[in-house]
Structure 1
Amino acid sequence: MKAAIAALLLLLLSLSLSAQTLKGKLFGMQGGVREILPGGMLRWIGTGVVAVVNENGVFELPVQDVTDRRLVASHPGFVTDTIMVEEKTYLSIVLSKAATELAGITVTDRAGAYISSLGVAKTEVINQKELSKAACCDLAGCFGTQASVQPQTTNVVTNAQELRILGLSGVYNQVLFDGLPMIQGLSYTYGISTYPGSMVENIYVSKGTTSVLQGYESISGQINVESRHPEKSERLYLNAYINSFGEKHFNANVATPVGKKKKWHSLLALHTVQPAGKTDGNKDGFLDLPLLTRYMAYNKWKYGNDKETGFSTQIGLRITAEKRIGGQMDYDAAGHKGSNKVYGQQVGYTQPEAYIKSAYRWSDEHALVLAVSGYYHDQQSWFGTTSYAAVQQSAYLNLQHEWYWNQKHLLKYGVSYRYQELEEDIRFINSSLPRSYAGKYQTSLRVPGVFAENTFHWLDDKVTLITGARIDHHQQWGWYFTPRTMVKYAVNGNHTFRASAGTGWRQVSLFSEQANLLVSSRDIIFLEPLKPEAAFNWGVSHTYHFVTGQTTGTLSGDFYSTHFSNQFFPDYDSDPTKAIIRNFEGSSRSNGLQLEASFVFFKQLEVRSAYNYLDVYRRENGEKVSLPFNPRNRVMAALSYRTKNNRWQGDINAHWFDKMRLPDTRSNPVAYQRPLYSTPYATVNIQGTFRLKTLDIYAGCENLADYRQPNPIISANNPFGPYFDLSSVWGPTRGRELYLGVRYSIK
């Protein structure tokens, strides 16, 4: 009897808790077809309680203490509706397509970059609206209005860049394309530049520990680039851009349904870059930016919906061909290849790639998901008198079963396999430098693995816990166990607390990831074989969303700490003429704090600011040694204003960087020495946009104050001498850049 009473009380309690939350889906009716509307907004009228519709069209809104039960539902391009909810606990809302296609309706209510309220890990979402605030010619240029990711130049001559999180090299954060690991090894150095902003739907940025489902690598965070959806994209999208150096970008997207029943949808994206003219603004004899030629074609096919019963699939095919030429002003790629008279660098490669993600869902509770991807990268390069030829084959397979159990918890488990074969050939031609690392190198990766991850939902989703682990076997170094956990506590519709902890590891691909090793006169000294890098990361965050009258805002703060148990970092300090390669198993830490505030006033003025504190160091011989190229303090501010009819828009963002420690060059001759620390500096970027119904005209300026790092290249006047070095580049080197562009689209 007591057991029955207890069970009844538990039932009543669960019913009471569930009654305090309104759940549902948001749909839009367009052309007689009902579709989910991710990114839509739900708000109790007259309150600050807001919910954002997730990628599956689902929303959840607390109802406790809500006296006025009218719910406002909105989505760009659809008519805003007000619904009387009464005592319902689940609601399907269908919005009608807006009768007019004025740009003001399409854009004014659309949220810019935001912190997802649904993610268990703190996830920043950069959407198309945010990307349109800058030229965003490639992925590295898409982070100007946020503070978590810092693009960093790794080779100033070829303009190779990486994306840093928590002050750590970009190799420690996992970059995914449509959820798959397509950027690694050879594709790491130039891969992030081959994704133009025109083919990006959203960018999801998570710091610290993330899911184990995509692998074991993500140590400092994860960047997932989601490409445009074929079934939702504009039928035609065109973008053309030119900057004051003469570099030109052209993009075209075409989306169309395929087949008699139009169950397949296709998106074809074409992209090309044509080179700039030769410029040398700082008069050091070197080109300010490389001559870049790129051609890319991408075709994405989609069938079905993986959230519905039955079969669904997504197929992607992409090929990229690129050539970069940099160096001294008189360098000719054909006549001076390998020359010791005129210095130059040229990188040419082709990369075809393909992926498929298929799912079969036989009930609401069970689904089987298969993801397979692979690419081939063939690169031929010259760095002065150094020839570098490399070929890489990579493949990835992931098969998992998804099981909703107990009606609300989700278990995912399965098997994975990682394959990589990297062959590198290094030769020295016409060189008198005492360099000893010429030869052929082969890096293999064969890693089978098993994984499981469970998502628990408690207290009507106020508490969400993800626990996961994977076991992988490296062909040389044996077994690796990778546990991770993340928890979210949504106190109410405004306050959300998150915490995460877990481990990660990765194999080093030395020359393909460390561009500076090949482009300087340093000799490379190998002291021992490189083990996989491994680290433990933990972090906490708090996010506060609020609405007050015509103002919406978000305040957030987070702290993440990374502890390496083995780390690789080239030693440039012991001898400026050498790079010493070894494992470091001592104490190595990265501590990162970020405080951020964003506000939207009257749906027209957006203001965002952020502060980052970084403490990245090692302990060597009992002393704390800061790692180079990390500003201890960094500040970002962004402002965006558009008129009520959305015809005009102005954007500005500014970044301030504190001083950074640089490689020690004190043992060089005085003429080739550089300070131990950089100079603090700031950059300001602006853009203006004029909109018609189907046409956007935008113009802007990057590095408005024309700031340049003085003398970025050591021994620029003698690039074939023993002190030529690019490893002390820490700031802008090409000065002010003006640009003009147009976007044209047919909905």
Structure 2
Amino acid sequence: MQRILFSAVFLSSFYFAQEADTLHLNQTKKIDSVTLEKKKEIKTQNIDDIVMAGTIKPVSRSKSPVPVEIYSHKFFQKNPTPNVFEAIAMVNGVKPQLNCSVCNTGDIHINGLEGPYTMILIDGMPIVSSLSTVYGLSGIPNSLVDRIEVVKGPASSIYGSEAMGGVINIITKNALTAPKLSVDLMTTTWNENNVDLSTKFNLGKNAASLLSLNYFNFTKRFDENNDNFTDGALQNRISVFNKWNFQRKENRQASFALRYLYEDRFGGEMQWNKSYRGSGEIYGESIYTNRVEAFGMYQWPMKENIVTQFSYNLHDQNSFYGTNPFTAMQKVAFTQTYWDKKLANHDLILGVTFKKTFYDDNTPGTLSSDALTNQPMKSPIFGAFIQDQWEIDDKNTLLLGYRFDYDKIHHAVNSPRFAWKFSPNPYHTLRFNFGTGFRVVNLFTEDHAALTGSREVMVQSDLKPERSVNGNLNYIWKIPVNDRLINLDASAFYTYFSNKIVGDFDSDPEKIIYNNLHGYGISRGASLNLDYTFNFPLSVNLGVTYLGVYQKFDDERQKSKQLHAPKWSGTYNLTYKFQSNLIIDFTGQFYGPMRLPVPPDDYRPEYSLFYSLANIQISKIFRSGFEVYGGVKNIFNFTPKDPLMRPFDPFDQHVDDPVNNPNHYTFDTTYGYAPMQRIRGFLGLRYILR
């Protein structure tokens, strides 16, 4: 019955869009769409995008000495998802990692490094950090996104703490240029329903406002592996976004945005309902999230180019993991002002920053030193930075940067930076980056498993800030083939960590023991991306990443490989366009074996299988502004085996049973490494009114 309904909705949507397209064609001239499309593809190869993430200010990508990858919202529409967390999997070397097999929360790994090492920016502002790296990412709808910029490697000299692994900068749509109306409706055969609505209105000639609403609803329970636990976390989520852009004299910039997010998330035993929340009868993980964000920027009305940026976010968490409550409140205020000055061939930036974080929860992470009273974290950090981008000549560009931060607990932190770009001609570009990074610790973000109730948290000593030294070599080669270009983008990277914070899962299966590593950590590897558009309407985007991420201890122990860091991974994206504006997209990711957290004598393998998550989409674009799309997700039907340890005893009531549990296994949720959602269909309808 569900498949029949799915087919009926698809056919009715297609018919409605086709009728609107026919009416539109009667009022317009016929255009050779194939010729226009080919011209657009050729021109696209010569566009020099503007990027912000590498050097804090807008600069053309070709002139930036920092390698920045750019992905437009059109790129992510090739595999439609309801949020940025799922969409970012399409980027080579970036992995959205599920940290809990029950509530399906997770973080984003860049080059194998855990989520706390990745800084998520919205319009250049550090909106997503600490608490929200686990619970806020799934609440960012794709409807807000104009493009996403990715910088791999430490960027602490510009962005400070939490930017050791890389930066993901989400650029939201500009209200001045946004469509008057945008609608995107999508559903799946698993009853995942997503609605994106946005409208733009003008106030006079110099101000415009964009109002966006996203609603995601997934309330049907599935248990296809028969472990009596939901295969996907149920979610009821709403996000409201309002952004203002102002047009000012001499093209000075000014913008302001507000966003509110509410989410009700649940994963657990199939018979759970809210009357069992916090009880020991039926196991469930229930998470309520309330989040408010405000951010903006203002360019001063003076001859000198001085810009002030600011942000504030409040994150309120109310959760239960079985019988264990987790309540948390986080408030982060941030402001920075920088002066951009052009002096001959030097582009100089001077800036000052201030960030204040308030964080309180009911875990040991916010207890006083005597463990008797609650002591919320109140962490003001003052910073100053300087950066000089020197265009030596047409072929060489040099960037020197330095940042100084002062924290009342960790005191002075210095972060230098060096970058060099050599481009002998338009077809070859070599970039070398070197710098240091630091990270001030928030215990909650070290591992979500600490709060699932399955393990006890222990902190062995006062945690010191992590430090890193990083080198990155990037080479771009554009190979002319007739009137097209093959784009090759290759990178090699190496990062050395000291004072690395590690969670010890192995010493005691019932505990997570946090401490600074007595030794060092290494993250090294290489990646390759290939893009090519053939003379016939086929475009190919392929990526592969090799990783070697491990910790080496000072004692006699052997080096330990990083959890959830596959040695090989990659992405693939093939698009074929027919003359009738019918498009087929085949997209996916593959992951090699990765080390998983297993207790001693676990019956499950320590390393995952090689697997691929593949999707296919067929879409039809109509001249009237409608687009109908549909397809299949996870076409290889892959799901992990046995993601939960002892799902039949989630409250550990029979751990000491010598007959049925001689190894004293306990309920554990940390083994899952991929989504449990099997093959499913999806269908959507878009409409844009310019």
Q: Is the 8 A contact 1:309 1:362 kept in 2?
A: no
The one-letter code matched in structure 1 to 2:358 is E
Deviation at 1:362, TM superposition (A): 3.3
State the partner residue of 2:49.
54
1:231 equivalent in alignment to 2:176 = yes
Match for residue 703 of structure 1?
Answer: 634
| Displacement of 1:513 | 4.9
Return the match for 1:624 from 556, 559, 575: 559
1:550 deviates by: 4.1
- Whole-Å Cα distance in 2 between the matches of residues 585 and 497 of structure 1? 36
Name the counterpart of 2:579. Answer: 644
1:222 alignment partner in structure 2:
167
Equivalent residue number for residue 94 of structure 1 = none
Aligned residue type for 1:683: L
1:147 to 74, 83, 92: 92
Q: 1:53 to 1:610 in 2, by over 3 A?
A: closer
Are 2:643 and 1:712 equivalent residues in the alignment? Answer: yes
Contact 2:525 2:545 in 1 (8 A): yes
Secondary structure of the residue aligned to 1:491 is: strand
Match for 1:735 among 656, 678, 684? 678
The match for 1:208 is 153
**Equivalent residues of 1:545, 1:555 under 8 A apart:** yes
Quick one: which amino acid aligns to residue 384 of structure 2? V
Q: What amino acid maps onto 2:278 in structure 1?
A: G
Q: Deviations over 1:404-447 (max 9, x none)?
A: 111x32111121111001010149xxxxxxxx999845223110
Quote the offset at 1:392 in angstroms. 1.0
Larger C-alpha radius of gyration, 1 or 2?
1
Match among 281, 293, 297 for residue 357 of structure 1: 297
- Equivalent position SS for 1:130: helix
Q: Match for residue 634 of structure 1?
A: 569
- 1:438 to 1:496, Cα distance in 2 relative to 1, 3 A: farther
> Does the alignment pair 1:274 with 2:220?
no
Q: Give the letter for the 1:734 counterpart.
A: Q
Query: Distance between the aligned counterparts of 2:145 and 2:49, measured in 1?
Result: 18
Q: How does 1:249-328 map to 2 (within 5 A)?
A: 249-259=194-204, 262-304=205-247, 309=250, 311-328=252-269
One-letter code aligned to 1:248: N
Matched, 1:560 2:501: no
Instruction: Tell whether 2:318 aligns with 1:383.
Output: no
Identify unmatched segments of 5+ residues in structure 1.
1-40, 58-114, 428-435
Does the C-alpha gap of structure 1 residues 594 and 724 become closer, same or farther in structure 2, counting only changes over 3 Å?
Answer: same
Residue 390 of structure 1, CA deviation: 0.8
Task: Give 3-state SS (helix, strand or coil) of 1:735's partner.
Answer: coil
> Counterpart of 1:421?
358
Q: Which residue of 434, 438, 456 maps to 2:390? A: 456
Contact kept? 1:664, 1:676, Cα under 8 Å: yes
Matching residue's letter, 2:280: N
Q: Name the CA shift for 1:53/1:598 in 2 (closer, same or farther; >3 Å).
A: closer
Q: Percent identity?
A: 27
Relative to structure 1, is the Cα distance of residues 49 and 270 closer, same or farther in structure 2, using a 3 angstrom cutoff? closer
- String of CA shifts for 1:476-507, please: whole Å, max 9, x gaps: 11100011122211121110000101111122
Aligned equivalent of 1:401: 339
Asked if the contact 2:216/2:236 (under 8 Å) is kept, the reply is yes
Q: 1:588 aligns with which of 494, 501, 521?
A: 521
Q: Which of these residues, 648, 668, 677, is aligned with residue 607 of structure 2?
A: 677
Relative contact order (C-alpha < 8 Å, sep 6+): which is higher? 2
Give the counterpart letter for 2:678 in structure 1.
G
Assess, with a 3 A threshold, how the Cα gap between structure 1 residues 438 and 294 changes in structure 2: closer, same or farther: farther
Distance 1:338 1:459, change over 3 A: same
For 1:684, the aligned partner's letter is: A
1:343 is aligned with what amino acid?
Answer: Y
Matches for 1:243-254 after TM superposition, within 5 Å: 243-254=188-199
User: How much does 1:286 deviate?
Assistant: 0.4
What letter matches 1:277 in structure 2?
A: K
1:213 aligned counterpart, secondary structure: helix
Query: Displacement of 1:518 after TM fit?
Result: 1.1
What do residues 242-288 of structure 1 show as CA deviations (whole Å, max 9, x unaligned)?
112112111111112212xx101111111111223011011111001
1:601 aligns with 2:514: no
- Deviation string 1:121-172 (CA, Å, 9 cap, x unpaired) is 1111100221221113210222344312111111222221211111000211
Residues 446 and 503 in structure 2, CA contact (< 8 A), matched pair in contact too: no
C-alpha separation in 2, matches of 1:611 and 1:265:
42
- In the alignment, the residues of structure 2 paired with residue 576 and residue 604 of structure 1 have an alpha-carbon distance, to the nearest angstrom, of 54
CA contact (8 A) 1:458 1:464 kept: yes
Query: What is the alpha-carbon distance in structure 1 between the residues aligned to residue 598 and residue 147 of structure 2?
Result: 40
Question: How high is the TM-score relative to the length of structure 1?
Answer: 0.80
Q: Residues 664, 161 of structure 1: CA spacing in aligned structure 2 closer, same or farther, 3 A cutoff?
A: closer
Identify if the C-alpha distance between structure 1 residues 642 and 303 changes in structure 2 by more than 3 Å, giving closer, same or farther: same
Query: What SS does structure 2 have at the residue aligned with 1:133?
Result: coil
Alignment of 1:573-584 (within 5 A): 573-584=506-517
Q: Does 1:338 align with 2:293?
A: no
Distance 2:278 2:510 in 1: 21
- State the distance in 2 between where 1:328 and 1:716 align: 9
Written as runs of structure 1 = structure 2, the 5 A alignment for 1:653-672 is 653-667=587-601
**Quick one: structure 1 residues 603 and 315, their matched pair in 2 at CA, closer, same or farther if it must change by over 3 Å?**
farther
Q: Name 1:369's counterpart in structure 2.
A: 307
Q: CA deviation at 1:592?
A: 1.8
- Report if the CA contact (8 A) 2:101-2:670 is conserved: no
| Amino acid in the other structure paired with 2:227 | D
Instruction: Report the alpha carbon displacement of residue 617 of structure 1 after superposing the two structures with TM.
Output: 0.6
Q: 8 Å contact 1:209–1:484 — kept in the other structure?
A: no
- Relative distance call for 1:281 and 1:416 in structure 2 (3 A) is same
CA distance in 1 between counterparts of 2:382 and 2:156 reads 17
Q: Which amino acid aligns with 2:574?
A: L
| Mapping of residues 7-18 of structure 1, within 5 Å | none
Indicate if the aligned counterparts of 1:426 and 1:440 stay in contact, CA closer than 8 A.
Answer: no
CA distance in structure 1 between the aligned counterparts of 2:43 and 2:208, rounded to whole angstroms: 38
1:74 is matched with which residue? none
8 Å CA contact 2:311–2:334 kept in 1: the answer is: yes
Which AA in structure 2 matches 1:698?
A: Y
Partner SS, residue 132 of structure 2:
helix
Q: What are structure 2's unaligned runs of at least 5 residues? A: 1-36, 53-59, 365-369, 656-665
SS in structure 2 of the partner of residue 234 of structure 1: coil
1:684–1:703 Cα contact (<8 Å) kept: yes
CA distance in 2, matches of 1:439, 1:288: 39
SS in 2 for 1:393: strand
Take 1:483 and 1:742, find their aligned partners in 2: how far apart are those partners? 49
Could you tell me which amino acid in structure 2 is paired with residue 691 of structure 1? Answer: I
1:190-205 map, 5 Å: 190-205=135-150
AA partner of residue 309 (structure 1):
E
Residue 573 of structure 1: SS of its match in structure 2? coil
Counterpart residue identity of residue 618, structure 1: Q
Following superposition, the deviation at residue 603 of structure 1 comes to: 7.0
> Contact (CA 8 Å) 1:550, 1:601: kept in 2 or not?
no
| Distance in 2 separating the partners of 1:267 and 1:469 | 37
